[in-house]
């Protein structure tokens, strides 16, 4: 008797039209925003494996959000906000629990094909404070000031000023790196 009442989860979930709509919306957003979200996470976290994990978790949370009837007004901003928070959480836990040890350092080495200017720009960005790097990364992905404010947890009216300061700091570090490279 109990076996007749229990349906497999997949059948139950897929039978709902709202669920199918949520899945198609997530797949559409994965096609549209997946690569830019991945680039943002990789730049923020510095590694491909963690970026993959954050992107996957973000899209799973989106599916849950849509299935629960969540707001669909600005899903691009929602994705970047959730991903930025997940990246911040991972960076915080890294600082708290994982001291640097040579055997745990899995950073990639730049290829010889990287133009020297790109290498200098990347090195200059690495030394920036976390908020500056977050703002620059979000803007590089084409997000509006409103979306950057939502993702970074700052007021929209402050984004332009903070972003300008981040760009100035990055340019100063880049100029210093160029000068020291010439010597």
pLDDT in tens, 19-77: 568 899 999 999 999 999 999 999 888 888 899 999 999 999 999 999 999 888 899 99
Residue whose pair of structure tokens reads 């100035």 in the numeric block: 168
In terms of domains, do 151 and 99 share one? no
Residue 183 lies in a domain: yes
Domain boundary (93, 108, 123) is at: 108
In terms of domains, do 163 and 178 share one? yes
Question: pTM value?
Answer: 0.58
Domain boundary (108, 137, 170) is at: 108
Give the separation between CA 52 and CA 32, rounded to whole angstroms: 16
Residue 121 lies in a domain: yes
Contact 84, 151 (CB under 8 A): yes
Two tokens, residue 155: 């007021």
Number of domains in the chain: 2
Q: How confident is the model at residue 95, as a pLDDT?
A: 66
* Domain interval for residue 44: 18-108
Model confidence over 116-158: pLDDT tens digits?
778 888 888 888 888 998 899 889 888 999 999 988 899 999 9
In terms of domains, do 92 and 32 share one? yes
Residue 3 lies in a domain: no
Q: How confident is the model at residue 119, as a pLDDT?
A: 80
Contact 85, 138 (CB under 8 A): no
Contact 80, 54 (CB under 8 A): no
């Amino acid at each position: 008797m109990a076996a007749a009442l229990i349906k497999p989860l997949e059948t139950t979930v897929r039978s709902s039209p709202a669920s199918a709509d949520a899945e198609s919306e997530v797949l559409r957003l994965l096609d549209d925003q997946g690569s830019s979200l991945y680039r943002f996470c990789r730049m923020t976290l510095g590694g491909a494996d963690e970026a993959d994990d954050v992107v996957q978790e973000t899209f799973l949370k989106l599916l849950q959000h849509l299935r629960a009837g969540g707001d669909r007004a600005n899903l691009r901003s929602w994705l970047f906000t959730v991903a930025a928070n997940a990246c911040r959480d991972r960076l915080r836990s890294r600082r708290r629990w994982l001291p640097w040890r040579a055997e745990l350092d899995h950073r990639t080495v730049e290829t010889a094909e990287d133009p020297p200017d790109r290498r200098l720009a990347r090195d200059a960005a690495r030394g920036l404070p976390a908020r500056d790097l977050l703002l620059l990364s979000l803007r590089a992905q084409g997000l509006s000031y409103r979306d950057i404010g939502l993702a970074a947890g700052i007021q929209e009216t402050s984004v332009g000023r903070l972003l300008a300061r981040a760009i100035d700091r990055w340019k100063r570090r880049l100029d210093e790196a160029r000068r020291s490279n010439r010597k």
